[in-house]
Amino acid sequence: LHIGYVTNGVHFPTWIATSLRRLYARYFGDGFEGHTYNIPAWQKVHNIPDEELWNERMYLKNRLIKHIRRRFSDPAQVRLDSPRQMIQIIEGIKPDVLTIGFARRFATYKRAYLLFTNLDRLSAIVNNKERPVQFIFAGKAHPNDKPGQDLIKRIVEVAAMPQFVGKILFLQNYDMELARRMVQGVDVWLNTPTRPLEASGTSGEKCVMNGVMQFSVLDGWWVEGYKEGAGWMLPMERTFADQHYQDELDAEMIYNTIEEQIAPLYYQREQDGIPHAWVSSVKRCVADIASNFTTNRMLIDYEDRFYNKLAARKQAITEGGYKLAREIAAWKRKVSAAWDQVRVVDVQRVKIDKEAVFVGETYRFEVKLDIANLRPEDIGVEMVIAKQIVGGQSVNVTRTVGLERSKAEGSLVTYTLDYTPSETGTYDVALRVFPQNEHLPHRMDFALVKWA
């Protein structure tokens, strides 16, 4: 299929912390001052001293914590059970604790409930005396999305339990300003969508440019973005068809990753009090991931992959009073008029020994066509290989291989292919005849076809 794609990016000036942008500008140089961010320039984040980058990250985290404390001190912004609960939360949320954020639209496929699958396990994580963790949730559900609203209700209920007060928070009145504070201030961004339903996941892209590392299922943008040592992932593949079992497995993997990888890395401090290994991962996150997910890169992709090619195509097709357009239109009329007379005269297929073909062996395919009054170069023939079609399954084409024109006698033209399989498996194979013209950018521009 000729339809392509461009991966989303996020607007760097909107979502980067102002102080962090100034820090980048000092070290990244000329490749970072204008509207075009030179991607290789982001590698200069490795030149920033660990202490300077860590202090900047802590400044942003402290700013988030102060913002949260102000919100919980204002009865107009937060509804709580008692003043005592307000004090517990204000005193419980701390800037020196590993902070994991989760903020987005509360649709059920995003699985905000996943963290609460095993509350005993979660309590052990947040109340660990040596390596505590705190979770900050925010977001809204659609007014007509009752299951999404129930997710929020469940988080609020868990956050009010004695073992989680001040350690799991749900921030009400979610808006763009709060989102900006969170993607700049937390240490890790958690994303747990049901595979493969994540369209993109731009909140994570906003985080990584601020040095906040992503922990997500390999879905959406994270399939392209993930780099080992610059964030964490849950596998792309499902283990269970039953979603309940898959949720349980993913929850256990989340608990294990936090306990065994994320928290130890965050709390591994040197004598100067700086977690140099963590800062090193932050730098890789900024240099190797964030640099590729700005709207600047996205627009350049649109230009390079589509807009510039389309402009060049328009130029070529309209030159000389639409000369090429007229030629293509005349060719299409000729082929359309003759297509019913084009016929398959003979097909020599591979001879299958004991219902199998073998990797490394060569097999010959041959198709003889009567092309009527068309030219041999007007016709193409290809072998189409697809995963074996079972029941009502859709066709999954794995590759196409063109046949070469080997002989022409008047209107009879022979096409051949010597094919050597390179992969094992069960496949369906067919031979397809189609019109071809070097001036057609895509086959779908002229969708005539015959099967041999």
Q: Specify if 17 maps to a domain.
A: yes
Asked if residue 229 and residue 172 are part of one domain, the reply reads yes
Instruction: Identify whether the C-beta of residue 331 lies closer than 8 Å to the C-beta of residue 373.
Output: no
Per-residue pLDDT at 352: 60
Q: Specify if 106 maps to a domain.
A: yes
Give the tens place of pLDDT for each residue, 194-224.
777 778 888 999 999 999 999 998 888 999 9
Per-residue pLDDT at 355: 65
Helix, strand, coil: what percent of the chain each, to 5? 45, 20, 35
Give the tens place of pLDDT for each residue, 293-338.
999 999 999 999 999 999 999 999 999 999 999 999 999 999 999 9
Final residue of a structural domain among 293, 315, 347: 293
Asked if residue 249 and residue 346 are part of one domain, the reply reads no
Pairing of strands 343-348, 363-370: antiparallel
Asked if residue 356 and residue 274 are part of one domain, the reply reads no
Q: Specify if 238 maps to a domain.
A: yes
Asked if residue 169 and residue 41 are part of one domain, the reply reads yes
Instruction: Identify whether the C-beta of residue 361 lies closer than 8 Å to the C-beta of residue 421.
Output: yes
Question: Which residues have C-beta within 8 Å of that of residue 290, sequence separation ≥ 6?
Answer: 42, 205, 208, 209
Asked if residue 173 and residue 119 are part of one domain, the reply reads yes
Distance CA 417, CA 384 (A): 12
Q: What is the CATH number of the domain that holds 164?
A: 3.40.50.2000
Asked if residue 196 and residue 260 are part of one domain, the reply reads yes
Distance CA 278, CA 50 (A): 10
Per-residue pLDDT at 81: 66
Asked if residue 252 and residue 390 are part of one domain, the reply reads no
Asked if residue 280 and residue 371 are part of one domain, the reply reads no
Range of the domain at 434: 326-451
Pairing of strands 232-234, 213-217: parallel
Per-residue pLDDT at 196: 77
Asked if residue 346 and residue 257 are part of one domain, the reply reads no
Asked if residue 391 and residue 251 are part of one domain, the reply reads no
Q: Specify if 130 maps to a domain.
A: yes
Q: What is the CATH number of the domain that holds 336?
A: 2.70.50
Q: Specify if 317 maps to a domain.
A: no
Asked if residue 431 and residue 285 are part of one domain, the reply reads no
Q: For 403, which DSSP code?
A: P
Tell me the pLDDT of the chain (452 aa) as tens digits.
Answer: 678 899 999 999 999 999 999 999 999 987 777 777 889 999 999 999 999 999 999 999 999 999 998 888 777 777 766 677 778 788 778 899 999 999 887 777 677 778 888 999 999 999 999 999 999 999 888 888 888 888 888 888 888 898 998 899 988 888 899 999 999 999 999 988 777 777 888 899 999 999 999 999 888 899 999 999 999 998 877 777 877 788 888 889 999 999 999 999 999 998 999 999 999 999 999 999 999 999 999 999 999 999 999 999 999 999 999 999 999 999 999 999 999 999 999 998 766 655 677 888 888 899 999 999 999 999 999 999 998 888 778 888 889 999 999 999 999 999 999 988 888 888 888 999 999 999 988 888 888 999 98
Per-residue pLDDT at 57: 97
Q: Specify if 320 maps to a domain.
A: no
Total domains in the chain come to 2
Asked if residue 121 and residue 208 are part of one domain, the reply reads yes
> How many residues appear in the chain?
452
Q: Specify if 311 maps to a domain.
A: no
Per-residue pLDDT at 427: 86
Final residue of a structural domain among 240, 271, 293: 293
Final residue of a structural domain among 246, 275, 293: 293
Q: Specify if 101 maps to a domain.
A: yes
Distance CA 78, CA 76 (A): 6
Per-residue pLDDT at 208: 96
As given in the structure block, the two tokens for residue 289 are 């991931």
